[in-house]
Amino acid sequence: MITVTDLHKSYNGLQVLKGVNFNVSKGDIYGFIGRNGAGKSTTLNILTGLISQTSGSIKINNRQIGYLPESPMFYDYMTAYEYLKFIGTLKRSPNIVNRIEELLELVGLTHARKKRIKTYSRGMRQRLGLAGVLFHDPELLLLDEPSSALDPQGRKDILDILLTLKTQGKTIFFSTHILDDVERVCNKIAILDEGIIKLESTVKELVTQYEDPIYKITTAAPTDISLLKEIKQVVDVKKENDEYILYLNQHSNEILKELTALPITITSFNQKKSTLEDIFIRMVQS
């Protein structure tokens, strides 16, 4: 559905994208993950044609595309019904009234169809924006941070809609820095950091590839990471806030004994399974 090859983008000599490559297949919910400033929105703006790349190629095997920016704009004096009727008229869609009712039900705004958009919460505005994008029934959706800055209920609403759209055969590419959202709905992800793809994988493959045990410890004072790497089972160590994350190549009942033998004071010790957040931290700090 989407093939991006060696994509570069520079602004006034500053490289934002540095040879980005990824593939989105039909039916994917593809999570494009990265910290703020990693280049996610720049990539989306190139995919939608809003800006051009410096070099590289993009192939999209579908002309029916729907794009939702992070903060969609509306005529706030309109109601949801009026806004969707306006969209349908612009697109010269047949059966406008029926389509409006379908979309209002899909995004859960039937009850608010006659309320002015200016009274809507941010979550309601995101859902209405998604309804507008869906009016012409595109097969491919490009969404920029669709659940960013929403409360937990608003995020759940958006994610539930994405899962429903997947069952309808839609392909969805969305950028985000909210890793919980990605774990819930995506079947494939890419991690973008400083304009470079650090990892592209299916979620299933990630579970297998990064199933090594993880231990999180805190210490009474800052610790030399090289000291922790001396433990033979430890293959990598990352520091996150006050915690040290130890990546092991195998489960070991001896790890605590080896840690307590070091000249450091451990104040907490927890074993956990790898999450997407752990993998993300490992990739962007490598």
Which residue, of 170, 203, 236, is where some domain finishes?
203
The total of structural domains in the chain comes to: 2
**What CATH number is given to the structural domain containing 260?**
3.30.70.100
Cβ partners under 8 Å of residue 206, min gap 6: 189, 276, 279
Report pTM.
Answer: 0.81
Please indicate, yes or no, whether residues 215 and 198 belong to a single structural domain of this protein. no
* Residue where one domain finishes, among candidates 203, 229, 253: 203
119 contacts: CB under 8 Å, gap ≥ 6: none
Measured distance CA(81)–CA(97) in Å, rounded? 9
Domain span including residue 272: 210-284
Mean pLDDT of 97-117: 95
Q: DSSP letters along 174-207, please?
A: EEES-HHHHHHH-SEEEEEETTEEEEEEEHHHHH
Sort 55 into a burial class: Cβ within 10 Å, 0-12 / 13-18 / 19+.
Answer: exposed
Contact 53, 212 (CB under 8 A): no
Residues 223 and 191 in one domain: no
Contacts of range 41-45, beta carbons closer than 8 Å, 24 or more positions apart: 41/70, 41/144, 41/145, 41/175, 42/9, 42/16, 42/17, 43/4, 43/7, 43/17, 43/175, 43/192, 44/142, 44/144, 44/175
Q: Please tell me the predicted confidence (pLDDT) of residue 258.
A: 85
pLDDT of residue 82: 97
Instruction: Say whether both 227 and 191 belong to one domain.
Output: no
CA distance from start to end of the chain: 31
Query: 262: pLDDT confidence band, cut at 50, 70 and 90?
Result: confident
Is there a single domain that holds both residue 32 and residue 73?
yes
What's 46's domain CATH number? 3.40.50.300
What would the pLDDT profile of 124-163 be if each residue is shown by its tens digit? 999 999 999 999 999 999 999 998 878 888 889 999 999 9
Out of 26-40, 100-114, 221-235, pick the least confident. 221-235
* Chosen domain end from 203, 221, 253: 203
- Asked whether residue 187 falls in the same domain as residue 239, the answer is no
